[in-house]
Structures are given as C-alpha cells and as structure tokens.
A and B are shown apart, each in its own frame.
Chain A
C-alpha cells in the first residue's frame, strides 16, 4: 500500500496566486465581473459605477442571489428546481393575502398593526418550506426525476398564486413589510458603519482563527503575509461597499417629507446617506449561514458527498432520500425569503412576480461554478454569478440595448459560462472550445459592430488559429 517509490512532493517556487490559495475559477469570475463593470462604466461616463447605481444593483441582485444559494445545494445533489420563480409567486401571494385579507378579515387585525408583517412573513416561510419539502419527497422517496416534479411545480405554483389572489394585484403592502424591499428600509450611515466594522473584524478573526486551528494540529499553513493580504482584502471589500451605500444621498424632497411627518423643518444644508439596505443585510446573513451549512455542518458534508457519489453516500450510512427532502425544503424556504424581498421592493404582489426567475437562479448558480454533474459548487460563487447577471442586464439597459437583445445576451452568457467551465475541467474539450471561439467571436463582432471590425477580428482569429496549431493546441 505504500506509494511505490514516489519521491516526496518537491518544494517548488510558489507563485503569488498559489501562496494566497485563491481558487483560479474565483479569479476568473472576479475578472469577468471587473471587465463588465469597467466596460459599462466607460460606456455610461461613469454612471454605472456611481453610488446610486451600485446601491440599485445590490438591491436588484438580492432576490435572485438568495435563491441561487439554495440552488447550489439542489444542483450539487444532482437535481434541478425549475419551480423557484413560481414558488416565489405562491409565497408572495400567501404573504400578501395574509396581510391584506386573511388577518384583517378573520382575526380582525386592523391594517398597520405591528403583528401583521411578522405573521405574514412566517406564513410565507412555512408555505415555501412545506411546498419545497413536498417536492423533495416526490423526488427522494417516490423517485420522480426532479426535472419533472419541478416542471409540474412551475405550472402548479404559478397558478396557485393566481387562485389565491383571484388574479388581482394586492397592495400596497404593509409598511413594516416594505422595509425589506431595499430603498424603503436602510440601516442609515452610522448603523451601516457599525455593521461594516463588526463584519470586517469578524472576517479578519475567522481568517486567523482558522490558521490557529491548523497550527495547533501542526498542519501546513500559508505564509503569514498571505493570510494578512486575504484578511485585508475581505475587510476592504466590506468597508468599501459600506462607504459606497453611505455615499448615496437621500433626495431632499424625501428628507423634507420625513421631517414634516415628524412636525419638524428640514435644517438648511442637512444631508443623509441611505446606508446598507436591510435586504442586502438579509442576503449577507443568508450567505454566511448557507456557507456555514455547506462547510461546517454534517448536512452540508452529506450534500456534497451525495452529489459526488450517491451510491457511496448511501453505503456510508447517509439517508440520501431524506437528504433530498431537506435540500428542497431549504430551497423552498429561500424562495419564500426572496418573495419577501421581491414583493416588498415592488410594494405589492402582482401575478407575474418571479417570472423567469428559475432561469436567472439556475444561471447564477452555474455561472458561479456549480457543476451540473453534481458535487461541486460554492455559495459565494452563486452570489457572484447573480451579481454578474444583474450587472449585465442593468448595464445593457443603461446603455440602451433593446430588451430582446438583452435576453439574447444573458442566454448566450449562460451557455458560454458552462462551456468555459467544461473546458476548464476537461482537457479534451479545450481545442474544440478554442475553435468555437475563433469562429464565433468574429461573427459576433460582425453582428454587433459591422463588417470592418469583423474583418480585423477574422484576421486575428486566423493568425491565432495558426499559432495555436503550431503549439499543438488545435
């Protein structure tokens, strides 16, 4: 059983990225995101990276990002959930009806009562979790493929939502409920700084306590400076984001109205930043909890083991059927959370809420590196994937790209992300992927910029093709 005469791993000079031990896929995603941001920023004279737009972008991303974290678990266990958009609609309908009809009509709570928002939210979360668990039971115990169960669910829950509300738009929703929508509920400047500093401190503490645990067991660790860079990077990211959302000013008209409501007059020269939206805070909490579940709990360990090899997981004593129920129940719970954010942002429940979200959520998870073959995926990747998609869409809207073309681009980006992922993992696909891009990119450039640029691109592509051939890559 010894590894026959294999020399001990040779110490080699470690590159910067090696030392930091950052996953190259993550770097790729960050690079893609940076390119998108810079490109749109140039095209919009910097408006794309204004405090206002970053604030809006973060709010728009929350709903899909929350669900995408759950989709990671679903796809990691080799399933799929096509019903998330429809389930979001049903949960939203349940919450809207609870606060506008059922509580006032049956329990006699008047509109605006403090208990309305919490009860409505709990009702929605229960509905989402139960429906998710039921779908998981059909998949796990009755062995119906998840594709079919949730395709049925897509039709069923979209129309259950319709029935619950009689097809009507329900609104305006409860004021406290609306706090989760984004711009109507923010932490304010001071609160945001307090949160940011605490979060940054915790991030730094986590990096170094993980290091200490390794040292205690005498495991190899990265160099101290690498940990320092990593910790500083996390802290800078958090505090930088807080600085941006604090820089986004509440409009004067709104401030004046708020002061008048309190019977005061707006002082001359008074300004106020929005600060961190509660919805983004919620996403942050979901991200932390889901990451903990994935990495630090048995449940998470079993989810990944089952995705890697279902038979082995079963032989190791894991109840994979019940695990399926749990995974879909978590997905349902997160759909309900997203429903809170989505309907609060719109300030009402409408029939088409969450339409096509299943595609955005699956795309976010997949762009974020979740492998459809199971066993691989990260929570932060899915959130970054959601952010990339939302940035693309918002950016194109700001630049004035037609709506149909926006969707064409998003669809193409999804396919492209998976292609790159496969090329990254499977060496034999690489030449074909390279060829595909050498032919495809000039055509794309022709469509977008006309024949002159296409000609240049084609010449470059042919040259690259020959170079690749000589290097044996094609």
Chain B
C-alpha cells in the first residue's frame, strides 16, 4: 500500500433534495480527498450533510452533480453491493433473526467465500472485538455496547477498502464511548483500513482522527490535522465550533508582505501574520484560545488588561471570566499545576499576555 495514495475522492459533489421552490442543497460543491489508511473524520453540527456524504460514498444515494471516485475510478454506476465499502450504521442495523456470528459472516457469505475461510474470518473478528463468548447469542440478547462491537465486526469482516462509521458512538454512555474511541483507533491501526468517521462531537474528532473535515450547511470549511484545525482555524465558524475561543477585533494599520501591524481594542499595537485576508484600515477578528493566555500584573508586555468578573474552579483547571478594557469579554483557563491557589478574585485588575503565535487572524 502506497502511503498517501487516494482511497476516496469527492469532486464538486452537489446533492439537492426536493425540487422547485423546495429545492435544498444538502451538499453544496463538496470536494475532498481521503487517503488510504487514514482515520478521516467528518465533523459538523447536526443537519450539515455528513450522513448524506457517507450515503453517497456507500452508494445509497447518487450525487445530483459531481463525482465520487473510489480507488481512482468513478463509481456512479456501481450499486452499493458492488462497492468495496462497508458501513457501521448509527442504529447498528444488526439482523435480528441472525446470531452474532451469522451477522458477522453475512458479508463474506454474499461474497461467496469458502466455508473454512468464513469460519476463520468470523473467529478472527469475534476475537478482534472481544465478543467470542457471545457468538451464538441473538443480537437482541446483547447490550448496546456489545451490539456496537458486532456492527463493527460485521462491517470489517469482508475487509473493505473503506469503512464508513456514522456517529457510531452517539448511542453509548460516556464511559463506554471513551472506551470505544480507543478501541476504534486500535482497530483502524490493526486492520489498516481507511476509516471515514462521522461525528458532531469535536473532542471525539480531535482525539481520534488523522485528519478532520469541518462541515457546515453542506460545505466543507476546513480540512486539516486536529492540530491544524485547533491551532489554525480558517474561519470564525471553525474556531467557534472546535473548543472554546475568545474573539477580539483589531484594525489593520500597516501591511508589509504577509505581515501587518494591528491595533487591538486595548490600543496596544502588534505585528501579526495576516496573509492576504485584509487591507489597511480593515477590521479583522483575532481568535485566542483561553489556555494560551497568561495572567500577570499589568505591564508593557501585556496586550490587554481587564477586571476579573468571576472565577470558576474545574478541578484540573480554573477559568477566569474577564471584562476587557476597550470592550468585550475574555475567558482565560489556567491549569492548577500547584494546586488551586486562588490568587485572583472577582474585581481584581489584571494584565493579559498572549504569545504572538497564539493569536490567529480569521476571515469573518
């Protein structure tokens, strides 16, 4: 397997539901390339078109325009049962009249594999998802978490080129979900299969994925590694959707190449990468993560100053809500590395120090 080779490609895919005045684009010119052996996540709020994109890759739905390529070949003419893609459904969709083992064997039987091969593969899969003792149970005689594992094993058994997972963990409680996150990652590495994982949970996306595509209203806004998405969000929606972010306005005073001199709301001037996002005189938005800000007595190295409004203790860290001089609020999160020392209290005046690389200029 060539590293970086393409597994799935969507080219300018549009999906329109309804017609006439009720026509509505569930997917609006989506292009994405997913590499082989990658754990790729589609992340976005409910209704943004994640399931629709998955269904098109699986073949349950055809694009209104644009193309889906599997292994470099267009697949529009292929019905689902001819695509080497398997799905883990949100509702699992385990066949209720079959046992756990029969469910797992189903795909292999349809592919007309030999009896001995099927038996061996079913055993392997049961072991992989740690369900050997349950092999002869009916699927309604096992718990939700176990059904989840069986659904995974069933989809993995035919060794598809790509595995599609549609919010597979959303029905599980928090503890099971954390366990399954680790499990899924392990399965993906062990099998070497490309995973396309759908979720609306940003934490899940960040912890599991090689790359993430952030979607909103039928469009892909940004594709990148979890670090890129978190540290360098391309726009306000992404910055806001992933983690917590402070937004603050600044004015461009001067430009030189990619850099610009900006005046913050506090009046302090800084030099910052702005690329080609804005010209002189334009207002830009800066995104600053709460954990990147340091609190200090006010001095010249501080970009902002403010008043503590309230202090919220979270165990591992403490969050300070501040009123910023010159307008707006900011949230600052400090780790309680040496225990919780409540040095600051509501009403205290304080300076905020932000390393330049922690400020990200956004297009609005």
Bound together? no
